[in-house]
Amino acid sequence: MAKAKGPTPQSQDFSAWYLDVIQMAELADYGPVRGTIVVRPYGYALWENIRATLDEMFKATGHQNAYFPLFIPMGFLQKEAQHVEGFSPELAVVTHAGGEELEEPLAVRPTSETIIGYMWSRWIRSWRDLPQLLNQWNNVVRWEMRTRPFLRTSEFLWQEGHTAHATKEEAEEETRRMLGVYVKFATEYAALPVISGLKTEKEKFAGAVYTTTMEAMMRDGRALQSGTSHFLGQNFAKAFDITFQDKDLEEKYVWTTSWGLSWRIIGGIIMTHGDDRGLIFPPKLAPIQVVIVPIYKSETRQEVLEAAATLQAELKAKGIRVHVDDRDQYTPGFKFNDWELKGVPFRIELGPRDVAAKTAVLASRLGGKETLPLGELAAQIPQKLEAFHQALYERARRFRDERTRVVDDYESFKEAVAEGFALAFHCGDIACEKTIQEETKATTRVIPFDAPEESGRCVRCGKPAAYGKRVVFARAY
C-alpha cells in the first residue's frame, strides 16, 4: 500500500486533490455501479462519529428514531405536485420482484415525506398524537448525472427528520430548531463555519413552503450546502390527508417539517480543512485523534513499544481515541506522511532517547512540534484537542471571510464568484436567477438570517432588490 507520492496539489487541480485524498486515505472507493461508492472502515468510522453526535442531539430535542420502508409506490410521489416534479427525474425504479413484473412499479426512496405522510394519516387521530417527532438513519437513492464521492452519489447515507405539529407556529419553530442543531454540529464538532438562512424559491426543497440551509465555503471558494431544514406547511398533510381532531373538536390538517444531513458533510470536512499533505480531521469527529509512532531499531523495539503501550493506555483512560502504529515494515517517515494524509490531529513520536528522558515529541497536523514530559501528555492532550478545533475553525472562517466580497456591479460579482462568495442584492425573480447561473455558474446559496437590513438594486438586472438584505451567491457543489 506504500504510496510513492502525495495527492495532486490543491492549487494544481482541486478536484483531483479531492479524489486523490479520498482514495489514498482509504476513506472510500468507487462501487461497480455508476455513481456509487464503498465507504471503507476509516471513512465509515468518521460517519459513525458524525451519526452518534447528531443522534444524541436529536434525542436531546425530543426526537425518536424509526424505520420506514425503502420502496415507495410510484403513486405516492405523484400526490404532491412540486415533489414529484423535483424527484421523478432522479428515481431508480423496481419493476420486477420475486421473478415477476410488479403491477405497480416501486420507487427506491429518494426521501421519505410521502411514505411517512401515508403512515401518519393512519396513526394521527387527535391532538394528543401530536407532535410526531421522528428521525431515521437510512440510505436513499437519487440517480444524478454527475456524481462525485460523498458529495453526489447515486446512493447515499443520511438522516431524515420528519415532524408533524398541531400549529404552524410550532412547525416553524421546529424547522428553525433543527437548523440550529445542524449549525451547532457544524460549528462545534465539524469546525465548519457556516452561514445559515433561507433558500430562495428557486433553490428550495421540492414540496416545501420554504427551506432553511447552512452553507460552508470549500478551499476552492465554492459553496457546499451542508444541511437543510424545511417548513412543509400543509402541503404533504393535504396530499396525504393527515388530519387530527384538535382540542376545539375541529378536524384540522397537521403542519409538517423535514430536515436532512447526509454523508456529503464528509465532503465538506475534507474540502474545508484539507491541505496538500492530505486530510485534516476536526478532533471531535476524527476516528483517531492521536497516533503514537514508536521509533525503534530491533534492539530498542521492545522498550519503545512498551512505553507506547503504557502511553496509549493513559490516553485511552482520558477518553482519547488513540492508535499505536507498530507496523514493522514501514519507516517512521513513511508513517508520519501516512497519518498526515489521514488527517490525524496529533502525532506522538516516541524513540529510545525519549523513553530514557521520559519525554515525547508532540506534532500537530496544523504545524508545530514540542517536546513534553511523558507523564503530562494525558493531562494536556484534551485541551490541545480543543485548541486544535478552535484553530481549525478560525482558519476556515478567516479563509471564508477573505474570499467573501460585497459587490454591487455585475463585473465585480463575476470576479467574486470566481473565487468565493458574493454578497449581492437580487430582485428575487427566478428567471433572473437562472440567467445569473447560466452566465456565471453561480447560484443563490442563502439569504442569511443575520445579514443587516439593506435595500438596493439587483446586481444583474437593476430592479429593486427583494429580501431586504444581501444574498450569498456562489458556485456550488
Q: Which residues contact a copy of itself by CB under 8 A?
A: 1, 29, 31-33, 36-41, 44-45, 47-48, 64-73, 76, 88-99, 105-106, 108, 115, 118-119, 122-123, 128-129, 134, 138-139, 141, 143-145, 154-155, 157, 329
- For residues 133 and 162, is the Cβ–Cβ distance under 8 A? no
CB nearer to a copy of itself: give 68 or 334.
68
Q: Is 241 helix (H, G, I), strand (E, B) or coil?
A: coil
Q: Judged by CB, which is closer to a copy of itself: 14, or 87? A: 87
CA distance 108 to 77: 11
Q: Which is nearer to a copy of itself, 15 or 64 (by Cβ)?
A: 64
| Among the listed residues 278, 282, 259, the one whose alpha carbon sits nearest the alpha carbon of residue 269 | 282
Which residue, 33 or 317, has its beta carbon nearer to a copy of itself? 33
C-beta closer to a copy of itself: residue 100 or 251: 100
Least distance to a copy of itself from the beta carbon of 405, Å? 37
Tell me the closest approach of the beta carbon of residue 99 to a copy of itself, in angstroms.
Answer: 6
> Which CB atom, from 91 or from 232, has the smaller least distance to a copy of itself?
91
Residue pointed to by grid coordinates 442563502: 446
CB of 470 to a copy of itself, least distance (A): 36
CB 50 within 8 A of CB 156: no
Q: How far is the CB of 359 from a copy of itself (least distance, A)?
A: 32
Q: How far is the CB of 462 from a copy of itself (least distance, A)?
A: 38
Residue with Cβ nearer a copy of itself (53 or 300): 53
Strand, helix or coil at 326? coil
Query: What is the rounded distance in angstroms from the CA atom of residue 85 to the CA atom of residue 88?
Result: 6
Query: Within the chain, what is the greatest distance between any pair of CA atoms?
Result: 84
| Closest distance to a copy of itself from the beta carbon of 398 (Å) | 34
Report in angstroms how near the CB of residue 257 gets to a copy of itself at its nearest.
Answer: 17
Contact present, 404 and 292 (Cβ < 8 Å): no
User: Grid coordinates in use for 252?
Assistant: 384540522
426/436 Cα distance (integer angstroms): 10
223-233 and 210-217 beta bridge pairing:
antiparallel
Complete DSSP assignment for 112-154 = -HHHHHHHHHHH--BGGG--EEEEEEEEEE---SS-BTTTB-S
Bridge-partner residues for 323, per DSSP? 291
Q: Using the minimum distance from each CB to a copy of itself, give the nearer residue, 144 or 429.
A: 144
Nearest distance in Å: CB 68, a copy of itself? 5
CB atoms within 10 A of CB 155: 16
- CA 416, CA 264: separation in Å to the nearest integer? 25
Residue 34 Cβ, how far from a copy of itself at the closest point, in Å? 9
State which amino acid sits at residue 91.
Answer: L
With respect to a copy of itself, which residue has the nearer C-beta, 99 or 367?
99
Residues 6 or more apart in contact with residue 302 via CB below 8 angstroms = none
